[in-house]
Amino acid sequence: MKSNLLSFRVVKSTTLENLKLIIEQRESEIKSATDFIKEIEKGNLEFTYSQTDSAQSNGLAVSLLSMRDQMKKVAEDEKERKWVTEGLARFVEILRSNTNENQSLADDIISHLVKYMNANQGGLFIVNEDDQDNPYLELVACYAYDRKKFVDKKISIGQGLAGQAYLEKDTIYMTAVPDDYVQITSGLGNALPRNILIVPLKLNDQVFGIVELASFHSIKKYQIEFVEKLGESIASAISSVKINDKTRKLLEESQLQTESMRSQEEEMRQNMEELSATQEEMQRIVRQSQEKELYLNELINSINDTILTIDLSYKIVSWNKALERNYNITVHKGFDALHLYPQEGKSQAKAAFGRALAGETFQVTETYNLEGGEENELYIAAAYSPLKDTSGEIIGALLISKNITPTMAAQKKAERLLVETQRQTEELSSTQEVMKGIMDEVQGKERFMNEIMNATKDRIFTIDKTYKIIICNQTTKEAYQQMGVTLEKGYDILSLFNPEQKATYKSYYDRALGGEYFEITQKYLFGEVEQYFSTIYSPLRNTEGEIIGAAAFGKDITETILAKNQADQLAKENQFQNEELKAQQEELHQNLEELSTTQEEMNRRQEELTHLLQRFNLVVKTTTEGLWDMIVPSSMQFNDDTPFWWADKFRQMVGYSNETDFPNRLDSWANLLHPDHKEYTLAAFNAHLIDFSGNTPYDVEYQLKLKNGQYRWFRAVGNTLRDEQGKPLRIAGTLIDIQALKDLNAFQLELEEKVKERTHELQAQEEELRQNMEELSATQEEIQRVLLESQEKEAYLREVINAMPDVIYTVDCDYKVITWNEVLEKSYNLKVEKGFNILHLYEEYQRPGIKSKYDRAIAGEGFQENETYDLGAGNELHITATYSPLKNNAGQVTGVLFISRNVTQSVAAHKKTEKLLAEVQSKEDMLNNLINITDDSIVALDKAYKIICCNQVLRDTYLQYNIKVDIGFDMMLLIPEQEKALYKSYFDRALAGETVEVSNHFKNGEIDSYVNLTYSP
């Protein structure tokens, strides 16, 4: 048996040499590979592999070079991602630090973007929508050659490349730019840039602006994508700034309108106070004027003389009651004054009026011959005077006429004097009717004032010193009628209030009754409705200045108070929203700090570098809020258990704290979606993943249910990592709390609506104020018109009483003169002033008697007395004095009207008449004795065949036939019908002046009678 201890094989030397060379080559390759790997470990990816000659046949070398190339590509990709990440982080801080001012934000964005992109020029255009019908792109910031440029440029929508990018909402990149496209050049003479990048600033498919960059070098794809992503953040910032700017403008507008409203309210209040004071002054003047007019009307209507005024056409303008009473005719304004006279007297009257219209003042006694002969003559004592306006031009004439026919006729016949006396008695008895007419006129004026009070919507009432209502307007009555209270004159105003309120309101009334004028704003509760009133309390005084009551003027200012409260509430809500937004901004800042901490932690954890870099690269592509991440299953099938990574911040935003109560599963989020939002949110998520082209974005807004059960608005944005075929590998994104933005938008809309409503309210208030001012102006004009008319009447009445020959004056209850005519001063040869004590006209011993007469009138008695004064030398002065009480609207006596008429001539005529009457009576008695002595029948007839007188024989003759004849008996009734014509002819012949004697034969039964009849005129 053979044993081989060593096994060997004999080879050729050449083979051994070749084998040695191969081993050496392998050792060299291993050494080169080892050196190459060590350099790669050091990060030197540019190290050259030493075995380049054999690299193509050496598998290890090929693998190492492929690994190096792949690592260079990864490093390059990582460098690009880092560049994008740092850029986004830098611009997030820029956008965060400028949220309130467009210009500074635009300048910071474009300057930093041009530098970061290593470009030469850049411009930022923002859409200007001030004119909604014609929006345009406005260049708000420009940066070129390392400095800011001031260029004013506007681009219409669709104009040029920028306008086209706005319309298409897509990026434009050009590498061949025309020479005239770039308008900004370098002072160093450098060439113009040839690469142009135009990117729309787009958010939720709405373009807010355009960024345009120009560069010498080409712009790489990842840089273009960076600008596009940055464009969303810039658009969001621009949108926020615009919203903040619009909100600030709305708030400023609201504040300006509120201030304007306050100013208008203050101005309106001042105007109302001034108008109220003016109206009160006008009412006081009108009241005084009306009182004077009442006095003067009482004066002229208490006079029995006829008073009238005419215009230049002889048409009656005004008259007193005596005119209609004396002429027994109804007169109206415009009545022809000449129609008052008989036909034969019209020319005489017209001539007299003509003298007055020519400017002459004169007195005349007119005689009118009426039908019936001398016994029917009319005697008038007439005083004519011209009437002039304020410029001195004659506008009419005044006639004061007194019928003195009774006085004149008294000298002829006593019966007429008696008739005149009876007529004067009847006139005195009609004084009550005249007073009633005056009261009717006063009541009419009172109704007019009530109409003025009822024309306003303010509540107005007056009370006396016992708190009883004197008057109140319709607005006040209707307001309390709704509460079941009927206000009427004499109602106790304090009975409207409870005991606690009564003391308060009584103090208000007492202050006004004490002479104080003040205004108080009060709140009232009518049922469940609150109302605010501004009430003015004012004392009421009579003509002597004594306080007789108080007035309250209440204006409803509920709308003004509520508008002010609403404006205050709006300001508080706005302040609260600003504080909440500031808190959210602080929270966002904290979130960014937390994200920065997370990024540092990721860098420290080397063992998770690849996984964390992938997640981080996706996260930084979106705004840093609530982060989420998912590795997409290869099957593309999802269920509730599909793993999802939720950041702690994400959990906190929806009210959860850790993975226990919010697991890293899909259903943790999906189950919180609002029922109305779940379907389209999941559909958008799925559409983004299955679009392998990557053109479908995942950007959706929805509501999530918080842990406390409330829903809150969020915006989710996601990006996907895909393989070369576009299949999704990993998706990550961020959750942004947009509740404040939604609230801000809602607040903005609400604020706009409130501003519109407030504007409409202000316009309505302005219109109402304008109407109120017009009504007040019309009321003031009406008051001025009434005042002017009253003043004209007062002037007319004063001119009337001054033209009368009688002494006329009025005194108050203290015997002080109020009004008087010129005759008083002329009669007593002294100058009288208002307030003059009338008792001083008399001697000391006469004053008690005179005072007692005034006291009778002050007590309400109207009477007339005849007074006789001995002038010496057998001369006497006879005066008829009339005392009449003067009353106010309440029926209280406020003074006395005194009319003194010189009736000396009338008394003398009366005495003469009495003497004549005595003589006539004596002659009549003698005549009666004579005619009654004879046995003949004697009778005298008038032209109507009525008996004027007859003797007793005639009476006894006819008394036998039971016929009673006396004065006034119709003589023709005694004559048989067949003989009336005959006897009438006898009477007519006598009435014509002939004396007729006839003999007649009468047969009475069997007795024949022969009578001799004599008819004589």
In tens, the pLDDT along 254-276 reads 778 777 777 777 777 787 777 77
Closest CA to 383 of 363, 365, 397: 363
What is the Cα gyration radius of the chain? 61
**What average pLDDT does the structure give for the chain?**
78
Is 350 in contact with 368 (CB distance < 8 Å)?
Answer: no
Q: Does domain 625-769 have CATH number 1.20.58.340?
A: no
- Residue 83: CA atoms inside 13 Å, Cβ hemisphere, count? 18
In terms of Cα–Cα distance, which of 317, 305, 404 is closest to 353? 317
Q: What is the pLDDT of residue 238?
A: 80
- Residue 935, CB-side half-sphere exposure with 13 Å CA sphere: 2
Instruction: Scan for tokens 């008051």, then name that residue.
Output: 783
The secondary structure of 194-243 as a DSSP string is -EEEEEEEEETTEEEEEEEEEESSPPPHHHHHHHHHHHHHHHHHHHHHHH
Residue 556's SS3 state is: strand
Please report how the helices 102-116 and 59-97 are oriented relative to each other, as an axis angle in degrees rounded to 10. 160
Who's near 890: CB < 8 A, 6+ residues apart? none
Structure tokens at 252: 């400023």
**Nearest one of 718, 734, 722 to 691, comparing CA atoms:** 722
Length of the chain: 1017
Reading the block at residue 153, the tokens are 């440029």
- Please give the model's pTM, rounded to 2 decimal places: 0.37
Enter the CATH code of domain 99-255.
Answer: 3.30.450.40
pLDDT of 586: 67
Look at residue 710 in the predicted model and tell me its pLDDT. 93
The reported pLDDT for the residue numbered 816 is: 94
* Structure token pair of residue 322: 């005596």
Would you say the CATH fold of 805-916 matches that of 305-417?
yes
Asked which of 438-452, 702-716, 827-841 is least confident by mean pLDDT, the reply is 438-452
Asked if 375 contacts 398 with a C-beta cutoff of 8 angstroms, the reply is no
The phi and psi torsions of 924 (rounded to 5 degrees) equal: -65, -40
Q: What is the pLDDT of residue 855?
A: 94
Q: Which residue has the tokens 């007469």?
A: 853
Mean pLDDT for 546-556 is: 82
Distance CA 301, CA 295 (A): 10
Distance (Å, whole) CA 376 – CA 368: 9
Reported as a single tens digit per residue, the pLDDT across 963-972 is 888 888 888 8
Alpha helix positions (H), 804-903: 822-828, 847-858
CA dist 619 and 627 (Å) reads 7
Residue 114 to residue 447: CA distance in whole angstroms: 86
- What sign has the CA pseudo-torsion 410, 416, 418, 422? negative
Q: How far apart are CA 309 and CA 320, in angstroms?
A: 10
* Beta strand extents in 504-593 (DSSP E only): 518-526, 529-541, 547-556
CB 253 within 8 A of CB 755: yes
* Position 221 pLDDT exceeds 80: yes
**Position 505 pLDDT exceeds 70:** yes
Q: Please, what's the b/e burial string for 711-750 (b: 16 or more CB within 10 A of its CB; e: otherwise)? A: bbbbbbbbbbebeeeeebebbbbbbbbbebbbebeebbee
> Which value, to the nearest 10 degrees, does the dihedral of the CA atoms of residues 215, 216, 221, 224 take?
0
Question: Any idea of the CA torsion for 345, 347, 352, 358, to the nearest 10 degrees?
Answer: 160
pLDDT-above-90 percentage for the chain: 10
Q: In sequence order, what are the residues at sequence separation of 6 or more whose Cβ sits closer than 8 angstroms to the Cβ of residue 905? A: 407
239, 748 contact by CB (below 8 A):
no
Contacts of 394 (CB under 8 A, 6+ apart): 312, 357, 358, 359, 386, 387, 388
- Phi, psi at residue 327, to the nearest 5°? -95, -5
**Domain boundaries defined on the chain:** 14-77, 99-255, 305-417, 454-566, 625-769, 805-916, 932-1015
Query: How confident is the model over 21-77, as pLDDT tens digits?
Result: 777 777 776 777 777 677 776 767 677 766 655 545 566 667 777 777 777 777 777
**Residue with the two structure tokens 């909402």:** 169
Answer with the residue of higher pLDDT: 252 or 436: 252
pLDDT in the model for residue 951: 82
The half-sphere exposure of 400 on its side-chain side, counting CA atoms within 13 A, is: 22
Intra-chain end-to-end CA distance of the chain, in Å: 227
pLDDT in tens, 727-780: 999 898 888 888 877 887 787 788 778 778 877 877 787 787 778 777 777 877
Cα–Cα distance for residue pair 877/126, rounded to 1 Å:
109
HSE at residue 60, side-chain half, CA atoms within 13 A, is 14
DSSP E strands in 102-156: the ranges are: 121-128, 136-144, 147-149, 154-156
pLDDT attached to residue 3: 43
Tell me the CATH number for domain 805-916.
3.30.450.20
684-692 contact pairs (CB < 8 A, 24+): 685/718, 688/718, 688/720, 688/731, 689/632, 689/636, 689/720, 689/728, 689/731, 690/636, 692/722, 692/725, 692/726, 692/727
Alpha carbon distance 713, 546 (integer Å): 74
Report residue 510's pLDDT band, with 50, 70 and 90 as the boundaries: very high
DSSP classification of residue 948 = E
Distance, in Å, from the CA atom of 349 to the CA atom of 82, rounded to the nearest integer, reads: 123
Structure-model confidence comparison of residues 925 and 397, the more confident one: 397
| 305-417 fold | Beta-Lactamase (3.30.450)
For residue 991, what are the contacts with CB-CB under 8 A and spacing of at least 6?
Answer: 943, 1017
Give me the amino acid identity at 785.
Answer: R
Q: What is the pLDDT of residue 295?
A: 62
CB-based contacts of 617, cutoff 8 Å, min separation 6: 81, 85, 721
Q: What is the secondary structure of 905-940 as a DSSP string?
A: HHHHHHHHHHHHHHHHHHHHHHHHHHHHHSSS--EE
932-941's contacts with Cβ under 8 Å and 24+ in sequence apart are: 939/971, 941/971, 941/987
Comparing C-alpha atoms, which of 13, 250, 278, 234 is closest to residue 124? 234
CA distances from residue 89 to 451, 584, 620 in whole angstroms, order as listed: 78, 19, 8
Question: Maximum Cα–Cα distance for the chain, whole Å?
Answer: 240
CATH topology of domain 932-1015: Beta-Lactamase (3.30.450)
Residues 744/251, Cβ–Cβ less than 8 Å: no
Ranked by mean pLDDT, the top range of 62-76, 624-638, 718-732 is: 718-732
How many angstroms separate the Cα of 973 from the Cα of each of 610, 915, 964, 978, 980? Answer: 157, 38, 12, 12, 9
Report domain 454-566's class. Answer: alpha beta
**Contact between 901 and 883 (Cβ < 8 Å):** no
Question: Given a cut of 80, is residue 436 above it in pLDDT?
Answer: no
Distance CA 868, CA 21 (A): 181
Q: CA 436 to CA 710: how far, in whole Å?
A: 82
CA atoms of 311 and 387, how far apart (whole Å)? 9
* Structure-block tokens of residue 74: 């990864």
Using an 8 Å Cβ cutoff, are 175 and 93 in contact?
no
Q: Tens of pLDDT along 591-609?
A: 556 655 644 554 455 444 4
Going by pLDDT thresholds of 50, 70 and 90, the confidence category of residue 656 is very high
Residue 342 and residue 118: Cα distance in Å, rounded?
Answer: 121
**Residue written as tokens 């560069």?**
215
